[in-house]
Amino acid sequence: MTTVSLFQGTSTVLLNASLAWMTGAFFARNCLRNCSMSWCDKAMRRLDVSVLAAAGICITSSFCTLWAATAVMNDSPLWDARDALWTMLTMTHYGRAGLCGLVTLLGIGCAYLARDKLHDRRTYDSVVAALLLIFAFTRAIVSHAVHNGMFEVDVWLEWLHLLLIGLWAGGVMVSGWMVLPWPEISQKVEWRATTGFLNALSRSATIALVGIAATGAYNAYRGLGSLDNLSGNAYGRALTIKLWLVALAVGLGAFNRFIGFPAVVTPDSRAIPLPVAMHRLVFILRLESFVLLGVLIAAAALSGEAPPALS
């Protein structure tokens, strides 16, 4: 692997992971918006700080992917490609989409910085949601899905797939690392807020998985063209690894869905003490987050390989 391809792949992974984190944080914030408990306020503050960090990482990694793309287009080392970067940004479809994405990310960062000055939180949420949707679209139109046109069905399905992956992976990540490690489980009133968040997480993950299965199957068919192409090429190998990782993540999610969540939200089903059940649930969520990070790495590898059906 060359320096340019390694640089491009690493940047794409960071971009995908930070986008997923921002999507998951947006979901978590909306779930906690009407919660007046003290632990909810602390979780919201942690989420806000993490989104600013994720936006910064996403901006940096987006710029790096554009720089790497310039080097690939010019068949030159990274440093030598710097003089052609502005030309690529303004004169190519990939560059203009990336430039639009950078502006969108700056808008997300500014929105979070100005959140405390907005009296109507619904306006703030609407702005952030719109910017996330736009940024995901800028990613979809530079993917393999744009082969038949920028506004064709393939692009919209890729856009939906990116959003659903972000909802699933991001929801798991922020829940396991930023929200659920510190909820109140001793007081009955505050525990109801915790169970409400858990139920929302379970529903969103289920909805996301159904959509991911449908859009992912279509994307795989579009890229492979035939099951025979699942082997013998780099694209097929990366897709196979991604599918195995998704299956493992689904298994971990199913454990929490049918064992982990009931053990903490349904009193009659508690075979183990509540604190132990809660720690187990968080541990599985964190383990699932690492597997989903592997899925994002495999997705980045897929984006760098030519699909057999389009070659």
Burial of 168 (0-12, 13-18, 19+ CB in 10 A): buried
pLDDT in tens, the chain (311 residues): 578 888 999 999 999 999 999 999 999 988 888 777 777 888 888 998 999 999 999 999 999 999 999 998 888 888 888 889 999 999 999 999 999 999 999 999 898 888 777 666 778 888 999 999 999 999 999 988 888 778 889 999 999 999 999 999 999 999 999 998 776 555 565 677 788 888 899 999 999 999 999 999 998 888 887 777 777 788 888 899 999 999 999 999 999 999 888 888 876 655 778 888 889 999 999 999 999 999 999 999 888 888 887 66
State how far the Cα of 240 lies from the Cα of 230, in Å rounded to an integer: 7
Size of the chain in residues: 311
Q: Could you tell me the residue ranges of all domains in the chain?
A: 3-303
Give residue 50's Cα distance to chain centre: 14
3-303 topology per CATH: Formate dehydrogenase/DMSO reductase fold (1.20.1630)
Q: What is the pLDDT of residue 19?
A: 96
Q: Cα dist. 189→39, 45, 196, 202, 210 in Å?
A: 12, 21, 11, 21, 33
Q: What is the pLDDT of residue 281?
A: 92
